Amino acid sequence: MTPSQSRWLDLADDALGGALLSRTDARSVLTAPDDALLELLAAAYRVRRHHWGNRVRLHFLCNAQSGLCPEDCHYCSQSSVSTAEIDRYPLLAREKILEAAGRAAALKAGTFCLVISGRSPGERVFGKVLDAVREIRARYDLKVCACLGLLDAGQAQRLAEAGVETVNHNLNTSERHHASVCSTHTFADRRATVEHVKAAGIKTCSGGIIGMGESDDDIYDLAVSLRELDVRSVPVNFLIPIAGTPFANRHALDPRRCLRVLCLYRFVLPSQEIRIAGGREVHLRSLQPLGLYPANSIFIGDYLTTQGQTAQADYAMIRDAGFVLETPDGAPFDGDPLAGAPPSYPRAPLPMPVVPPGVPSGPPSGISPGVPVG
């Protein structure tokens, strides 16, 4: 056993024992040399396997209301400061949402993620969302995750009563770095929504976006914030630099950097569902299967406004890497996942971006890992 392998396995043992990874150890994970990457992945998989075996959860996104958002989140193609060429529309009719839920069920997704743009839902839209959730639960063997923007305690309670199992509201980045990403709401606003969801007895889903100019310490601090909030499902997004957004020219990621981040999050959040979310295909590229060693969940199909890998390619990736699909009740899926799956389905408006090869890995040039950006 090499010294580095022993070091990563010690971190895995600490994580399994409930210890919080130190900031120094977190920096060492994020700056691990390339020749230690497979050893690092093996240690992270030890933790993942303990809690999740070799199962992979599938989530399906429905962009039920697109654009029209007053917030200025710099990464988002639907924000008020974006000129991206996306579809903009109010809340979809209930039948359209139910059609999307039907596609999710056919694709063997365990969770249907109903997403609307905007700061916070008004009462008319919120009521229609509740009606759609009740009908989805009645028709399909799907768990429902709602992502509706900022919520108050009363709204969270009503979602619980309608049968929403999970609510997503990402912290996005560290509290220190948040002002560099958005000015129209605060990190505290986002944290309060997660707290309201938890108080209502709903499963919390919250994660972040990597590649927005944050430091290594920001990446660690976000993970610690999620741990402190006891978030149970953690989507890890890798910034998709969409033309027309303020972050369109941010290219600070490569596949190995993304894998190190996923390993860190598995060590800090050992029992949580960790999902490789937006940017998986763009940034992990040919190393996507390796992401399943620290992470246990992916989105199948497209993202909110950008296309993803086909469902058939995702199934093949999972199978070829020796993993199995997970059913909504948590058991391994037994059968052909393509049986009954639609041969095609409506695609997101923006094609999958192509990030130029050879971009720098890690924080922007000239910024040390421990120094916040911005």
The active-site residue out of 62, 145, 147, 263 is: 145
* Of 61, 191, 187, nearest in space to 114 by CA: 61
DSSP string, 132-200: HHHHHHHHSS-EEEEE-SS--HHHHHHHHHHT--EEE---BS-TTTGGGT-SSS-HHHHHHHHHHHHHT
The active-site residue out of 27, 55, 57, 73 is: 73
The active-site residue out of 46, 103, 275, 280 is: 275
Q: Report the distance separating Cα 338 and Cα 370, nearest Å.
A: 46
Based on the residue annotation, tell me whether 113 is a catalytic residue of this protein: yes
DSSP 8-state assignment for residue 43: H
Work out whether the CA dihedral 129, 135, 137, 142 comes out positive or negative.
negative
Q: Report the distance separating Cα 44 and Cα 264, nearest Å.
A: 8
Which residues lie across from 58 on neighbouring strands? Answer: 298
3-state class (DSSP) for residue 326: strand
Based on the residue annotation, tell me whether 73 is a catalytic residue of this protein: yes
Work out whether the CA dihedral 265, 271, 272, 275 comes out positive or negative.
positive
Based on the residue annotation, tell me whether 205 is a catalytic residue of this protein: yes
Based on the residue annotation, tell me whether 275 is a catalytic residue of this protein: yes
Residue for token pair 């199934």: 315
Q: Report the distance separating Cα 270 and Cα 289, nearest Å.
A: 20
Q: Report the distance separating Cα 155 and Cα 158, nearest Å.
A: 5
The active-site residue out of 62, 69, 147, 263 is: 69
Question: H or E segment at 235?
Answer: strand 233-238
The active-site residue out of 57, 62, 103, 113 is: 113
The active-site residue out of 62, 205, 258, 263 is: 205
Which residues lie across from 88 on neighbouring strands? Answer: none
Which residues, other chains included, contact 62 with Cβ-Cβ below 8 Å and sequence gap of 6+? Answer: 92, 97, 100, 101, 104, 112, 113, 114, 115
Which residues, other chains included, contact 143 with Cβ-Cβ below 8 Å and sequence gap of 6+? Answer: 110, 111, 112, 165, 166, 328
The active-site residue out of 46, 57, 76, 257 is: 76
Residue 44: φ, ψ to 5°: -65, -40
Question: H or E segment at 37?
Answer: helix 37-52
- Which residues are annotated as catalytic? 69, 73, 76, 113, 145, 205, 275
